[in-house]
């Protein structure tokens, strides 16, 4: 049985592990510990940058700009320094900024400078920045794409466009199946053709990527020959008007097994007023998958939602049941290749566990006594187990707890030896570990 989860989609794409800290500090030896450091950062959080690690050296792709008004541009050259009190200076040591943009020569302490201005020329501009201060330096290569108007051409990853899901910067394409023809679409936003090549990682055996494409995008095609848990690769190339394309992908190759719904757990249960969740399991097919209600009715208060992996959508029935009863429904499962499977389920919702009567039948000194405590409880999920909350000696003298399977400690039995009215706290527990406490009272007559 195979269940598609994030854990099963472990990705090895180097771009996601690209340290995000570029330009390791360099400088004279110091007796301070930890030693002072100066780094230029490239992360979505620091400056909305994307670190393109392949081929080396790494390049930080900053947000794009345009020449058509409104065209005010600002991008942060993110800096992290520790143990450095000096002012940091910034210089462009190679390449050039896009015409119309400038970089301050320095930045106040605890701040990062911004590249700002109004771009005047379209194109892709590559340049290297050196940060220096306190005897330390850090360098990082950058790239800014300027268009006439609108965002630059880029590779798109979307369930509605190519069945892809973006996770940690990697586009998870639909799964392939061994021995079956496959097409994975690398779609571009401008849909104007271009070039692509694999610059790191490798395609699954049996698949290939054309070097050039026209129209909406390139296609990873072929017939995969062996199983892979998620083959990762990164592509790089050019799109509309030579604008750079770069994206990490992953393709899992599954066994050629028909799609079905696992029948291990077709009878489900819950309790009114208690939050609950039930997962649906599958076998075979090719991700991404989608679950839906084919017929019948869910228990009121329960709805479909996605447990964790967006590529296994609506695989969990979750909520808080509000109405006791037996509910029958049929689930439909569909995979990316159009296979479908259905399975009938039964969901039994029981009332909450409760003690309905705290007064036990009376007994008489010297006369054998027996009472099934289950008669004083209802709801929950039998069988029940009963426990004295504080001390067994609180029971009337001569009485103790006996068991009749499958319940436990459910019979108060014995021969009373002392008259009086006795009260003692008890706890009842059902098979789902729900518990209720109540103080029971019994009168023993002389």
Show the domains of the chain with their CATH numbers.
6-147 (2.60.40.10), 156-254 (2.60.40.10), 260-350 (2.60.40.10), 354-445 (2.60.40.10)
Between the alpha carbon of residue 259 and those of residues 5, 72, 177, 229, 276, the distances in Å are: 16, 53, 12, 18, 27
| Under-50 pLDDT residues of the chain | 1-30
Closest C-alpha to 194, from 246, 230, 148, 158: 246
Q: Write the DSSP symbol of residue 46.
A: H
Res 54: pLDDT: 77
**Across 121-208, where does the E strand assignment appear?**
123-133, 136-147, 155-156, 165-167, 170-172, 176-177, 182-188, 194-201, 207-208
Indicate the burial class of 301 (C-beta count within 10 angstroms; 0-12, 13-18, 19 or more): middle
Neighbour count for residue 433 (Cβ, 10 Å): 9
- Residue 140 forms beta bridges with which residues? 129
Contact present, 126 and 244 (Cβ < 8 Å): no
Res 391: pLDDT: 86
Between the alpha carbon of residue 281 and those of residues 154, 221, 278, 290, the distances in Å are: 36, 29, 10, 12
Res 32: pLDDT: 64
Contact present, 301 and 279 (Cβ < 8 Å): no
**Apex 116 CA angle, 115 and 121, nearest 5:** 100
């Amino acid at each position: 049985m195979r269940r598609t989860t994030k854990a099963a989609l472990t990705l090895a794409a180097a771009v996601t592990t690209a340290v995000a800290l570029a330009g390791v500090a360099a400088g004279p030896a110091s007796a301070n510990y930890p030693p002072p450091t100066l780094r230029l950062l490239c992360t979505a959080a620091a400056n909305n940058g994307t670190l393109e690690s392949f081929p080396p050296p790494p390049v930080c792709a900053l947000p794009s700009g345009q020449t058509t008004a409104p065209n005010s541009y600002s991008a942060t050259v993110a800096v992290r320094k520790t143990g450095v009190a000096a002012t940091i200076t910034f210089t462009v040591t190679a390449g050039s900024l896009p015409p119309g943009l400038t970089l301050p020569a320095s930045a106040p302490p605890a701040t990062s400078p911004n590249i700002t201005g109004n771009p005047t020329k379209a194109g892709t501009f590559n340049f290297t920045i050196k940060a220096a201060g306190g005897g330390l330096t850090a360098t990082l290569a950058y790239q800014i794409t300027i268009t006439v108007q609108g965002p630059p051409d880029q590779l798109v990853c979307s369930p509605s466009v190519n069945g892809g899901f973006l996770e940690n910067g990697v586009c998870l394409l639909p799964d392939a199946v061994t021995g079956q023809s496959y097409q994975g679409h690398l779609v571009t936003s401008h849909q104007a053709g271009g070039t692509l090549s694999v610059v790191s990682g490798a395609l699954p055996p049996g698949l290939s990527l054309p070097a050039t494409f026209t129209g909406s995008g390139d296609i990873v095609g072929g017939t995969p020959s062996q199983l892979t848990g998620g083959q990762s690769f990164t592509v790089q190339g050019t799109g509309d008007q030579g604008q750079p394309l770069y994206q990490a992908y992953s393709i899992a190759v599954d066994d050629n097994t028909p799609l079905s719904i696992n029948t291990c757990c077709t009878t489900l249960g819950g309790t009114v007023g208690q939050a609950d969740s039930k997962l649906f399991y599958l076998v075979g097919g090719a991700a991404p998958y989608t679950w839906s209600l084919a017929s019948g009715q869910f228990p009121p208060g329960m709805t479909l939602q996605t447990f964790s992996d967006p590529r296994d959508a609506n695989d969990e029935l979750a909520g808080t049941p509000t109405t006791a009863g037996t509910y029958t429904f049929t689930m439909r499962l569909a995979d990316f290749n159009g296979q479908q499977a259905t399975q009938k389920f039964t969901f039994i919702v029981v009332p909450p566990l409760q003690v309905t009567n705290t007064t036990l039948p009376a007994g008489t000194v010297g006369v054998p006594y027996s009472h099934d405590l289950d008669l004083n409880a209802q709801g929950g999920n039998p069988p029940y187990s009963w426990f004295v909350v504080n001390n067994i000696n609180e029971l009337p003298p001569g009485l103790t707890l006996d068991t009749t399977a499958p319940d436990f400690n459910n019979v108060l039995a014995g021969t009373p030896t002392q008259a009086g009215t006795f009260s003692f706290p008890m706890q009842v527990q059902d098979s789902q570990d729900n518990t209720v406490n109540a103080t029971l009272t019994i009168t023993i007559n002389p």
